[in-house]
Amino acid sequence: MNQVNQRQYKVGVLGATGTVGQRFISLLAEHPFFVIHALGASSRSAGKPYSKAVNWKQTRAIPAVVREMVVQECVPEHFKDCVVVFSGLDADVAGDIEHAFRVADLAVFSNAKNYRRDPHVPLIVPLVNTSHFSIIPQQQRLHAPPLRKGFIVTNANCSTTAVVVPLGALERAFGPIESCMITTMQAISGAGYPGVPSLDIVDNVVPYIPGEEEKIEWETLKILGGLAHADDDDSGSGLLAFDMHAAQPLRISASCTRVPVVEGHTECVSVRFARRPPPSPQQVREALQAYTSEAYSIGCPSAPRHTVFVHEEPDRPQPRLDRDYQAGAGVSVGRVRQCRVLDIKFVVLANNVAIGAATSSIINAEYAVLKGIVSATAA
């Protein structure tokens, strides 16, 4: 992967000892142009070498480059040389810390949920809606005082990411979707560590994940909806705003469950298109297979070649077999067939800890670098 003569960019990781932070570090340690420069965690960990501060739970060993790196508290001054700051912080602290980093004119790419509903913060699944980066200048300008380089970009919840990729591909090919039913079977790693008690999930299904259904139903609208100048509103402000798919209302109904799977969210999805007659299963398969993300097109190194891999075998995708395809950066779809109630149904699988979390943030940052959205003060 390493490219010759590539400029290098210093990056920081907030929440470096947590589950998402560990994944950020695993991925960034092998990145072609990001270089881990600073690690932030709670005051309990600050001051310790990373290998002493972390309860490492990844299947790959701690990367040599961070073993002895001293963990810092999550304050901007320790990260001021970072071109990009990734946040794997828990929601209970992410709000204040990410705000402080933005104010300090740092570019924050966050996996936390805190700013996803902010009207000036884009919620970007990099295989779908990188166009929403266009709101960044407005986010900086409206800040008081205005920001020169600082901003926050969030990525979506893991279960939203899985479904929004094929939905985005289908809307691009066939126009608006009108309604969508989703039942998820989510992996335990989605809840972090210690997360789900084993007594709750061995030989069991838990048909409820607090807040999850609301996240899918809301985030999908923001991601798939438009971002446009509100030219015609009374205020005449001309500000960019997320329309929540308002032009063609999209009704989404999600049912979320937890299953005894370590990694990989499986989701049964059924959709109804506005367009009549709707596309056939074969047309849907072809459109999904042909879909390419802009992130891949412009050369983001972590973007998957196959945004959506379409399986022909009737019993795929399966989390254990398919979650590591393309390092978990794409999604896998199978069983595309007609639905007797809506139009088309299928199964989608996404790696919740890869494209469903850290990988999305990293592709977003790669995109921002390649597009010049972050100030390319190279390391």
Tokens 């990001």, residue? 34
271 by DSSP, 3-state: which?
strand
Catalytic residue among 158, 180, 256, 300: 158
Distance CA 379, CA 358 (A): 22
**Under the criterion CB under 8 A, does residue 330 sit at the interface with a second copy?**
no
Catalytic residue among 256, 265, 300, 311: 265
Instruction: Please identify, using beta-carbon distances, which residue of 19 and 87 lies nearer to a second copy.
Output: 19
- Strands of the sheet containing 251-258, edge to edge, are 251-258, 177-186, 265-273, 344-350, 331-338, 308-310
Nearest residue to 64 (alpha-carbon basis) of 75, 74, 51: 51
**Under the criterion CB under 8 A, does residue 189 sit at the interface with a second copy?**
yes
Task: State the minimum distance, in angstroms, from the CB of residue 279 to a second copy.
Answer: 17
Q: 341 exposed, middle or buried (CB, 10 Å; 0-12, 13-18, 19+)?
A: exposed
Task: State the minimum distance, in angstroms, from the CB of residue 303 to a second copy.
Answer: 19
Q: Which of 74, 167, 188, 365 binds a second copy (CB under 8 A)?
A: 188
Instruction: Please identify, using beta-carbon distances, which residue of 53 and 74 lies nearer to a second copy.
Output: 53
Residue type (1 letter), 180: C
Residues with Cβ within 8 Å of residue 43, at least 6 apart in sequence? 73
Instruction: Please identify, using beta-carbon distances, which residue of 92 and 313 lies nearer to a second copy.
Output: 313
Q: Which of 11, 16, 71, 181 binds a second copy (CB under 8 A)?
A: 181
Binding map of a second copy across residues 28-57, x = CB under 8 A, - = no contact? -----------------------------x
For 185, phi then psi, to 5°, come to -125, 95
**Under the criterion CB under 8 A, does residue 305 sit at the interface with a second copy?**
no
**Under the criterion CB under 8 A, does residue 67 sit at the interface with a second copy?**
no
Q: Hey, which residues between 342 and 371 contact a second copy (CB under 8 A)?
A: 342, 345, 347
**Under the criterion CB under 8 A, does residue 315 sit at the interface with a second copy?**
yes
**Under the criterion CB under 8 A, does residue 276 sit at the interface with a second copy?**
no
Query: Is residue 352 within 8 Å of 264, Cβ to Cβ?
Result: yes
Task: State the minimum distance, in angstroms, from the CB of residue 9 to a second copy.
Answer: 29
Binding segment toward a second copy, per CB under 8 A, in 22-30, 150-158, 278-286, 318-326 = 318-326
The string of DSSP letters for 315-369 reads: T---HHHHTTGGGGTSEEEEEEEE-SSSSEEEEEEE-TTIIIIIHHHHHHHHHHH
**Under the criterion CB under 8 A, does residue 179 sit at the interface with a second copy?**
yes
Distance CA 125, CA 71 (A): 29
Q: Hey, which residues between 193 and 252 contact a second copy (CB under 8 A)?
A: 193-208, 210, 217, 251-252
- Tell me the chain's radius of gyration from C-alpha atoms: 20
Half-sphere exposure of 97 (CA within 13 A, CB side): 27
Query: Is residue 16 within 8 Å of 347, Cβ to Cβ?
Result: no
Task: State the minimum distance, in angstroms, from the CB of residue 186 to a second copy.
Answer: 10
Instruction: Please identify, using beta-carbon distances, which residue of 266 and 364 lies nearer to a second copy.
Output: 266
Catalytic status, residue 158: yes
Task: State the minimum distance, in angstroms, from the CB of residue 324 to a second copy.
Answer: 5
The alpha carbon of residue 265 and the mean position of all alpha carbons in its chain are separated, in whole angstroms, by 14
Catalytic status, residue 265: yes
- Residues contacting a second copy: total by CB under 8 A: 60
Residue type (1 letter), 94: A
Structural element, H or E, at residue 140: helix 136-142
Residues near a second copy, by CB under 8 A = 57-61, 179-181, 183, 185, 188-189, 193-208, 210, 217, 251-253, 255, 257, 259-262, 266, 268, 270, 314-321, 324-325, 334-335, 339-342, 345, 347
Kindly list the catalytic residues: 158, 265
